[in-house]
Structure 1
Amino acid sequence: MLLRSLLGVLPFAGVALSQAAMQYTDPDNGITFWGITDSAHSVTYGYVFPPLATSGANPTEYIGEIVAPLASQWVGFSLSGSMIKSLLIAAWPNNGKIVFTTRYATTNVLPDVYNGPIITTLPSSMVNSTHWKWVFRCQNCTSWEGGSMDPGAAAATPAWCQSTIAVDNPADPATSMVQHTDFGFYFFAFASAHVSASVYNNWAAGGTGGGSTTTTTTTTTTTTSTAPTATASPYDYIVVGSGPGGIITADRLSQAGKSVLLLERGGPSTGETGGTYQPNWAKGTNLTKFDVPGLFESMFTDANDFWWCKDITVFAGCLVGGGTSVNGALYWLPSDSDFSTSNGWPQAWTNHAQYTAALKARLPSTDHPSTDGKRYLEETSVVVSKLLNNQGYRNITINDTPDSKDHVYGYSAYDFIAGKRGGPVATYLQTAKARKNFKLQIYTNVLNVVRNGSQITGVKTNDTTVVGGFYPLNPNGRVILSAGSYGSARILFRSGIGPTDMINLVKSDPVAGPNLPPSSQWINLPVGYNVSDNPSINLVFTHPSINSYDNWANVFTNPPAADAAQYLASQSGIMAQASPRLNFWRAYGGSDGVTRWLQGTARPGAASVTTSYPYNATQMFTITAYLSTGIKSRGRLGINAGLNAVPLVNPWLVDPVDKSTLITGLQDIVSGMSAVPGMVMITPDNTTNIVDYVNNYDPSTMNSNHWVGSNIIGTAGKAVVDVNTKVFGTNNLFVVDASIIPALPYGNPHGMLMSVAEQAAAKILALSGGP
Structure 2
Amino acid sequence: DVIVVGGGPAGIIAAERLAETGVSVLLIERGPANTVALGSTQELPWNNTLTPYDIPALASSMTSISGTKFCSDTASTAGCLLGGSSSINGLNFIHPPEHDWQRWPKGWSYADVSEAAARLYERNPGTTAPSDDGKYYNDHAYKVLAGYLDSKGWSEIDSIEEPNKKHMIYSRPSWSIKDNMRAGPARTYMPFAKELPNFTLKLDTKVIQPIRSGSSITGVLTLAADGSRQIIKVKQGGKVVLAAGAMSTPRLLWNAGIGRSDALDIVKSGATRNGVSLPAQADWIDLPVGHHLQDHAQIMLQFNAKSNFSAYNFNGIATNPVESDLDLYYQGSGPITQAAQRMHLWTSAKGADGRTRYLQGTASAMASGVITVRSFLTHGTTTVGELGITASGNTVLNTKPWLIDAEDRKAMSDFVQWWLDLTSGSNSTLSYVTPGATPDDIIASKMISGDHWVGSAKMGVDDGRRANGSSVVDLNTKVYGTDNLFVVDASIHPDLPTGNTQSIIMITAEHAAEKISAFKVGAGSGNSTTPTASPSKRGLHRHGRRMQRDFRRHSW
Alignment of 1:134-153 (within 5 A): none
Distance verdict in 2 for CA 1:467–1:326, change over 3 Å: closer
Within 5 A, what are the aligned runs for 1:360-509?
Answer: 360-463=121-224, 469-509=230-270
Show the counterpart of 2:78: 316
Given residue 757 of structure 1, which amino acid in structure 2 is its aligned partner?
A: A
For 1:250, the equivalent position in structure 2 comes to 15
Given the alignment of the two structures, is residue 346 of structure 1 paired with residue 106 of structure 2, yes or no? yes
Aligned-pair RMSD on alpha carbons?
A: 2.0
In the TM superposition, what whole-angstrom CA distance separates every residue of 1:170-210 from its partner, at most 9, and x where no partner exists?
xxxxxxxxxxxxxxxxxxxxxxxxxxxxxxxxxxxxxxxxx
AA aligned to 2:476 is: N
Q: Over residues 352-405 of structure 1, what are the superposed CA-to-partner deviations in whole Å (9 max), with x where a residue is unaligned?
A: 211111111121121111232221111111111111112221111111121111
2:274/2:392 contact within 8 Å kept: no
In the TM superposition, residue 678 of structure 1 has moved relative to its aligned partner by: 5.2
1:329-344 alignment runs, 5 A limit:
329-340=91-102, 343-344=103-104
> Are the equivalent residues in 2 in contact too, given 1:262–1:440 (CA < 8 A)?
yes
Paired with 2:484 and 2:115, the residues of 1 have a C-alpha distance of: 26
Describe how 1:346-745 pairs up with structure 2 within 5 A.
346-350=106-110, 351-463=112-224, 469-509=230-270, 510-512=272-274, 515-545=277-307, 547-550=309-312, 552-567=314-329, 569-606=330-367, 618-673=368-423, 677=427, 679-683=429-433, 685-694=434-443, 696-699=444-447, 702-715=448-461, 716-717=463-464, 718-745=470-497
For residues 465 and 553 of structure 1, what CA distance do their matches in structure 2 show? 33
Normalised to the residue count of structure 2, the TM-score between the two structures is 0.89
CA distance in 2, matches of 1:423, 1:499: 34
1:266 maps to 31
Matched to 1:549, the amino acid is A
CA distance in 2, matches of 1:551, 1:670: 28
Match for 2:6 among 208, 222, 241? 241
Which string of whole-angstrom CA distances, capped at 9 and with x for unpartnered residues, describes residues 635-683 of structure 1? 1111112111111111111112111110101222232336795522243
- The residue number in structure 1 matching 2:55 is 292
Contact kept? 1:639, 1:646, Cα under 8 Å: yes
Count of aligned positions: 515
Question: How far apart, in 2, do the equivalents of 1:434 and 1:542 lie?
Answer: 51
Rounded to whole Å, the distance in 1 between the matches of 2:227 and 2:199 is 19
Distance 1:672 1:467 in 2: 59
Corresponding residue of 2:533: none
Which residue of the partner structure matches residue 758 of structure 1? 510
8 Å CA contact retained: 1:547, 1:604: no
User: How many Å separate the matches in 2 of 1:514 and 1:383?
Assistant: 55
Match of 2:144, as an amino acid? V
The one-letter code of the counterpart of 2:241 is I
In 1, Cα distance between equivalents of 2:488 and 2:281 = 26
SS state at 1:290 partner: helix
Which structure has the larger Rg?
Answer: 1
Distance 1:765 1:548 in 2: 53
**8 Å Cα contact 1:453/1:521 also seen in 2:** yes
**Contact 2:420–2:432, Cα closer than 8 Å, also in 1:** no
1:278, distance to aligned residue in structure 2 (A): 3.5
Cα distance in 2 between the residues matched to 1:767 and 1:724: 7
Question: What's the % identity of the aligned pairs?
Answer: 37
Instruction: Say if 2:138 and 2:312, in contact at 8 Å, map to a contact too.
Output: no
Tell me which residue corresponds to 2:90. 328
Cα contact 1:339–1:352 (8 A) shared by 2: no
Task: Give the aligned partner of residue 500 of structure 2.
Answer: 748
Q: Is the 8 A contact 1:364 1:415 kept in 2?
A: yes
The CA distance in 2 between the partners of 1:519 and 1:657, in whole Å, is 41
Any idea what SS the aligned residue of 1:448 has? strand
Q: 1:276 Cα deviation (Å)?
A: 3.0
3-state SS of the aligned residue for 1:538? strand
Structure 1 window deviating more from structure 2 (747-756 vs 501-510): it is 501-510
CA distance in 1, matches of 2:225, 2:324: 48
**Is the CA contact 1:299–1:305 (under 8 Å) kept in the aligned structure 2?**
no
Residue 761 of structure 1: CA displacement? 0.5
Range with bigger deviation, 254-263 or 554-563:
554-563
Q: Is the 8 A contact 1:276 1:286 kept in 2?
A: no
Per-residue deviation, residues 236-256 of structure 1 (Å, max 9, x unmatched): 000000111000000100001
In structure 1, the partner of 2:543 is: none
Give the equivalent residue in structure 2 for 1:20.
none
| C-alpha contact 2:208 2:276 (8 A) present in aligned 1 | no
Contact 2:25 2:198 in 1 (8 A): yes
Corresponding residue SS for 2:318: coil
Q: What is the SS of the residue equivalent to 2:237?
A: strand
Q: What SS class does the counterpart of residue 637 from structure 1 fall into?
A: strand
CA contact (8 A) 2:326 2:336 kept: yes
Is the contact between residue 271 and residue 291 of structure 1 (CA under 8 Å) also seen in structure 2? no
Cα pair 2:219 2:231 within 8 Å, conserved: yes
Structure 2 CA distance, aligned partners of 1:464 and 1:672?
A: 53
Q: Which amino acid aligns with 1:688?
A: A
Amino acid at match of 2:301: L
Contact kept, 8 Å, 2:386 with 2:401, in 1: the verdict is: yes
TM-score for the superposition, normalised by structure 1? 0.65
Please, which runs of 5 or more residues in structure 1 have no aligned partner? 1-235, 607-617
Kept in 2, the 8 Å contact 1:387–1:675? The answer is no
Residue 229 of structure 1 is matched in structure 2 by: none
